[in-house]
């Protein structure tokens, strides 16, 4: 924004020396964006400055009570710059059209007319046209909005362009004070004020006994990024790793372990060895040997029935997987708390009983299902064989997060292929009274953040059971190795290699290599 650039020099002069150096370094390092597709400041029509997103929102309420989503507080100096401008525009709108309840539409300007733009005039004109309004046209509404903006030290000037676009220019002295405050007191002073205090972020979520591959990277990085954004805004974030640690595949894995290594307890982790190889071998045996398949299915029953031998084998498999997951998370600097499918399993019967008592669950072709309006297929919550599935686990997890953890916003980060599942799942929860209509703007709230699939060389989705996928750990090692090789070459060529210690080379290679993997993907 032009006010930001104009005020930066003032802030640097006023700031202490270390802060001055920090801002100068940041300015030198800042990328210069052109008006290209990848640029976050790509030019858009002034009347439609909207950011696209793949986040699908649903609002919800729980037994703990439904809270109306509060408007951002009209407090000068609180929240992000956009929030403060929106608060001032909201006050102007109340004075301009007191009879109309309207939310401020404020966007960042990318042109030369201002720093922010209010785009409410056209919408207000459409609503009021023909109802005896005193305004002659949208431009007149825009002029009134600009005139009614409260006098304050935030706004330097406001002008109206075209059919009522109110262009707002920030005060250079105010921006300079904000920058100085950030340099002296930290960037937390810029944090937005959000109307929630606790968020559950469900992300990463690999399956136990399957190694993490590049297909798991997007959920992990997007989820971690969202978590950091909420935490920056002083929101408590429950980072949940909803791992697949409870299902029919464990009968197959356990029976294969017993067959290959009768003394597996003595061998420990050595019995399983390479998880990916172990999983594929057991799956091949399961598909080709009917007798083994029967034993594996019986093993599931024994495991879920609590038989100690099977429980012990299950715990060992989970332990080996977790250790490998933790190594990857450590490299990526991602913090997660595991609450997998097995954690919510004890809650499923009581949750399904509640839904049954409401008349939502019906019998259909031997299964128990919930019929969802707008979908041709029902949401299966109990399979024909009496087993539970993703839907029953997700319903139990949502109930727990709403009623036990008291989360106000639950966000699920998965690929877009699961969009239909979440749409049906959220609608079922709304039918149960857990989630109100999304238009009501109440908390708690649920969202599915979808992202594109990571495909293999064959153009199909990565599947550990049938594809030679790139392991995430191997990818990170390769990235660090290439980074170090490039760094050594450049330092040798410019004669500065003698100034670097081995530790500095290693740490820099990790930072650049891992950073390139984390944020270099087109997500």
DSSP 313-348: HHHHHHHHHHHHHHHHHHHHT---EE--HHHHGGGH
Domain identity same for 363 and 454: yes
Which pLDDT value is given to residue 105? 96
Domain containing 139: what range?
A: 81-174
Q: Is residue 298 part of a domain?
A: yes
Secondary structure class of 466 (helix, strand, coil): coil
Looking at residue 201, which CATH number applies to its domain?
3.40.50.620
**379 closest CA partner among 421, 433, 434:** 421
Q: Is residue 36 part of a domain?
A: no
Domain identity same for 318 and 406: no
Residue 181 in this model has a pLDDT that exceeds 60 = yes
Q: Which of 144, 174, 204 is the last residue in one of the domains?
A: 174
Task: Give the Cα separation of 313 and 264 in Å (integer).
Answer: 9
CB-based burial label for 45 (10 Å; 0-12, 13-18, 19+): exposed
Q: Is residue 46 part of a domain?
A: no
* 351-401 pLDDT, tens digit each: 999 999 999 999 999 999 999 999 999 999 999 888 888 999 999 999 999
CB-based burial label for 20 (10 Å; 0-12, 13-18, 19+): middle
Domain identity same for 403 and 312: no
Q: Which of 141, 174, 207 is the last residue in one of the domains?
A: 174
**Confidence class of residue 39 from pLDDT cuts 50, 70 and 90?**
very low
CB-based burial label for 161 (10 Å; 0-12, 13-18, 19+): middle
In the chain, % helix, strand, coil (3-state, to 5) comes to: 50, 15, 35
Domain identity same for 200 and 98: no
Domain identity same for 350 and 446: yes
Contact criterion met (CB below 8 Å) for 117 and 46 = yes
Q: Is residue 329 part of a domain?
A: no
Q: Is residue 42 part of a domain?
A: no
pTM of the model: 0.71
Instruction: Over range 338-362, report the average pLDDT.
Output: 95
Domain identity same for 459 and 480: no
**272 closest CA partner among 253, 297, 298:** 253
Q: Cα 392 to the chain's mean position, in Å?
A: 23
Instruction: Please count the structural domains in the chain.
Output: 4
The Cβ of residue 331 has, within 10 Å, a number of other Cβ atoms equal to 19
Domain identity same for 267 and 414: no
Domain identity same for 461 and 352: yes
Q: Across the chain, which distance is largest between two alpha carbons, in Å?
A: 88
Q: How far apart are the first and last CA of the chain?
A: 26
Domain identity same for 94 and 125: yes
* 450-475 pLDDT, tens digit each: 988 766 666 666 554 444 567 788 88
Which pLDDT value is given to residue 115? 95
Q: Which of 209-218, 311-320, 407-416 has the lowest mean pLDDT?
A: 209-218
Looking at residue 127, which CATH number applies to its domain?
3.30.1360.70
Which pLDDT value is given to residue 403? 97
Q: Which of 323, 356, 371 is the last residue in one of the domains?
A: 323
Domain identity same for 256 and 352: no
Domain identity same for 382 and 239: yes
Q: Is residue 460 part of a domain?
A: yes
Q: Is residue 202 part of a domain?
A: yes
- β-partners of residue 409 are 199, 445
Q: Is residue 41 part of a domain?
A: no
Which pLDDT value is given to residue 454? 67
Which pLDDT value is given to residue 410? 97
Domain identity same for 240 and 344: yes
């Amino acid at each position: 924004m032009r006010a930001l650039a104009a005020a930066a020099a003032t802030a640097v002069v006023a700031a202490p020396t270390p802060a001055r150096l920090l801002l100068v370094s940041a300015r030198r390092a800042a990328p210069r964006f052109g008006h290209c597709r990848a640029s976050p400041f790509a030019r858009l029509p002034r009347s439609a400055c909207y950011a696209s997103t793949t986040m699908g929102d649903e609002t919800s309420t729980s037994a703990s009570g439904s809270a109306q989503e509060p408007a951002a507080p009209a407090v000068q100096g609180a929240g992000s710059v956009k929030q403060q401008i929106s608060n001032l525009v909201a006050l102007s709108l109340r004075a301009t059209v007191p009879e109309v309840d309207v939310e401020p539409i404020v966007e960042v300007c990318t042109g030369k007319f201002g720093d922010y733009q209010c785009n409410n005039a056209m919408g207000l004109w459409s609503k009021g046209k023909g109802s005896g309004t005193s305004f002659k046209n949208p431009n007149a509404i825009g002029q009134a909005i600009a005139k009614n903006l409260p006098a304050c030290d935030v706004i330097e000037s406001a002008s109206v362009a075209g059919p009522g676009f109110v262009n707002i220019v920030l005060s250079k002295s105010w921006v300079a004070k904000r920058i100085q405050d950030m340099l002296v007191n930290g960037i937390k002073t810029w944090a937005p004020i959000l109307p929630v205090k606790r968020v559950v972020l469900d992300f990463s979520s690999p399956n136990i006994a399957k190694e993490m591959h590049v297909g798991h990277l997007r959920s992990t990085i997007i989820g971690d990024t969202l978590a950091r954004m909420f935490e920056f805004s002083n929101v408590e974030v429950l980072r949940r790793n909803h791992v697949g640690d409870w299902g029919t595949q464990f009968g197959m894995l356990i029976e294969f372990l017993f067959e290959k290594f009768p003394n597996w307890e003595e061998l420990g982790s050595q019995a399983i060895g390479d998880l990916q190889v172990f999983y594929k071998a057991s799956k091949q045996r399961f598909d080709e040997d009917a007798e083994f398949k029967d034993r594996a299915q019986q093993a599931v029953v024994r495991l879920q029935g609590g038989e100690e031998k099977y429980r012990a084998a299950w715990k060992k498999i989970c332990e080996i997987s977790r250790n490998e997951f933790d190594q990857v998370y450590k490299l990526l600097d991602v913090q997660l708390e595991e609450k997998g499918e097995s954690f919510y399993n004890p809650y499923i019967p009581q949750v399904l009983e509640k839904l049954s008592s409401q008349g939502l669950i019906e019998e259909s072709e031997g299964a128990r299902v919930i019929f969802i309006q707008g979908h041709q297929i029902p949401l299966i919550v109990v399979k024909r064989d009496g087993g539970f599935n993703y839907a029953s686990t997700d319903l139990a997890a949502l109930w727990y997060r709403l009623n036990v953890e008291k989360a106000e916003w639950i966000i699920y980060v998965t690929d877009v292929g699961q969009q239909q599942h979440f749409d049906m799942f959220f609608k079922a929860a709304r039918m149960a009274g857990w989630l109100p209509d999304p238009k009501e703007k109440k908390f708690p709230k649920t969202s599915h953040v979808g992202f594109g699939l990571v495909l293999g060389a064959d153009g199909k989705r990565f599947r550990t059971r049938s594809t030679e996928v790139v392991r995430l750990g191997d990818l990170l090692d390769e990235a660090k190795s290439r980074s170090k090789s490039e760094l050594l070459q450049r330092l040798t060529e410019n004669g500065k290699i003698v100034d670097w210690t081995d530790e500095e080379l290693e740490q820099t290679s990790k930072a650049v290599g891992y950073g390139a993997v984390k944020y270099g993907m087109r997500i």
